[in-house]
Amino acid sequence: MNPFSDADKLESKQSLESTIRKLENAWSGMTQQGVNTTLVKKRLDAIRIGLAMLENSWHASPPVTPHPYTQQDVAEARKVIAGLLPSIENQYAKAKAGSPQRTLLEKRLKSLGRAIQALDECSTS
């Protein structure tokens, strides 16, 4: 994995943790309403795996720390995260330059891209 500055690592970690919190809140609300939560749960699991693999890649060189995820879990997480990118890119394109929303989306795109890179590295190890 390309070396990232501590600031980049912190930004990515915070962005993914924020995404996890949003998905947890959505999942909780949908569960209380009795709505189908399959998609939200799948995304939540994928982001959690992406964050874990990203942190694993930062702390081990090469990443050798055991993790509880199967290659199938990692592949599914990568697919789900990659599937989120077009929607986020579309939102980013529509957001006003310099707006807090655009900044948040930019950070989210970077962090998801880094998570995908970490997942790719994990699947080839």
Give 43-67 pLDDT, tens digit per residue. 999 999 999 999 888 876 554 556 7
User: Is 1 among the domain residues?
Assistant: no
User: Is 106 among the domain residues?
Assistant: yes
User: Is 109 among the domain residues?
Assistant: yes
Give 63-111 pLDDT, tens digit per residue. 455 678 899 999 999 999 999 999 999 999 999 999 999 999 999 999 9
43 close to 23: Cβ distance less than 8 angstroms:
yes
pTM: 0.89
Domain hosting residue 90, numbered range: 6-124
Give 4-50 pLDDT, tens digit per residue. 788 999 999 999 999 999 999 999 999 999 999 999 999 999 999 99
Question: What's the domain count of the chain?
Answer: 1
User: Is 97 among the domain residues?
Assistant: yes
38-59 helix and 100-124 helix, angle to the nearest 10 degrees: 70
Other CB atoms within 10 Å distance of the CB of residue 98: 7
In terms of Cα–Cα distance, which of 22, 49, 25 is closest to 105?
Answer: 22
